Amino acid sequence: MAETLIYSEGRDKRLDETKLRRLNKLGWWIGLAGLLLMCPMVWAEVRGVDFGLGAPDSPLYERFGELAGAQSGQGQNSDESQQKPDSDQPNSLQAASQARDDANKSVPVSKQQPKRILGLMPNYRAVSAGAIPPPPTPKEAFVIATRNSFDYSSFVFVGITSAMAEWSDAHKQLGEGFEGYGRYYWRGYLDKTIGNYMVIFTLPTVLHEDERYYAKGEGGILKRAVYAATRVLITPNYDGKNTLNISELLGRASAQAISVSYYPSQDRTAGSISEKYAYAIGRDALTNVFREFWPDIATHILHRHP
């Protein structure tokens, strides 16, 4: 009787593992199909074809380009500016912040992106629809990456995902119980922090890419959703032109490569790393979609300001 019970439990466990593997494969195929569908739009948008998703010839990028041209024109007069006393030159970070505030004043309240959604989710990377701030300075990018990494919501988010990973026994070598949860937690937090600094600060500063999310704010639901999701593949550079989002794609890949050094040996396979990489990119895409529609949700459903 005992042997039959053990055999039955073992069989049920194998069936559960088989179902989990099938679900993972299904998720991979769905993700791959979505990526293949987005590739033509990404290629066309980078090449300058207008799909109405924020191409370089849209008003957003025209204004952004004018801003970049004005800044380059100021650079040509650098000799004159150097002759002025230092006291007459405002702090660059304060000037950039003031410029963003001024740009945001022209945006209707119903379309403004808040710094925090529902008092929990940090939204420092979002730019309100129609607002055109100057390119971020390295200091600004570093501050945004730091805020996203050490915000109190980050500890809550990592706590939830770590609990889910421990409950599903995602990494068996990390163990179970409180000790196992602790091992999941610090690794998950390190994943998030490294990814933030690579994607928001390090690579954008080197490549001159603007990793902020520029909300569209108008158009059909499908068009806005596709626009938001594809921002993980497309981003403006400091000149306001669309380019392949190398900072996102390479930054997440670099974070996963670094994670190999602190995850168990059995999780250092190409399949495991690829799965985590796809999860990180998918999470960022869904976050952008939520950012895009949050002002509408707050205004029309919750009847409050975003």
Residue 292's pLDDT band, with cuts at 50, 70 and 90, is very high
pLDDT of residue 232: 97
pLDDT of residue 83: 42
Q: What is the mean pLDDT of the chain?
A: 78
Domain positions in the chain are 34-65+103-301
Read off the pLDDT of residues 154-211 as tens digits, 9 standing for 90 and up: 999 999 999 999 998 888 889 989 999 999 999 999 999 999 999 999 999 999 999 9
Mean pLDDT of 240-249: 95
CB 210 within 8 A of CB 136: yes
Count of other CB atoms within 10 angstroms of residue 294 = 20
Distance between CA atoms of 281 and 289, rounded to whole angstroms? 13
- 50 SS3 class: coil
pLDDT of residue 201: 97
pLDDT of residue 17: 57
- Chain Cα centroid distance, residue 272: 21
pLDDT of residue 236: 95
Q: Residue 99: pLDDT above 80? A: no
pLDDT of residue 87: 42
Structure tokens at 89: 């030159």
Helices (H), 173-245: 177-196, 203-207, 221-229
pLDDT of residue 260: 92
- 263 against 100, higher pLDDT: 263
Q: Residue 33: pLDDT above 70? A: no
- 64 against 275, higher pLDDT: 275
Read off the pLDDT of residues 2-32 as tens digits, 9 standing for 90 and up: 555 555 555 555 555 565 455 455 544 554 5
pLDDT of residue 132: 87
Distance between CA atoms of 141 and 202, rounded to whole angstroms? 8
pLDDT of residue 223: 96
pLDDT of residue 16: 56
Q: At what angle do helices 177-196 and 138-150 cross, to 10 degrees?
A: 160
- Length of the chain as a residue count: 306
CB 129 within 8 A of CB 216: yes
Count of other CB atoms within 10 angstroms of residue 147 = 16
239 contact partners, CB below 8 Å, separation of at least 6: 65, 68
pLDDT of residue 68: 42
What single string gives the DSSP state of each residue in 67-90?
A: HHHHHHHHHHTHHHHHTS-GGGS-
Mean pLDDT of 132-136: 90
Distance between CA atoms of 182 and 166, rounded to whole angstroms? 9
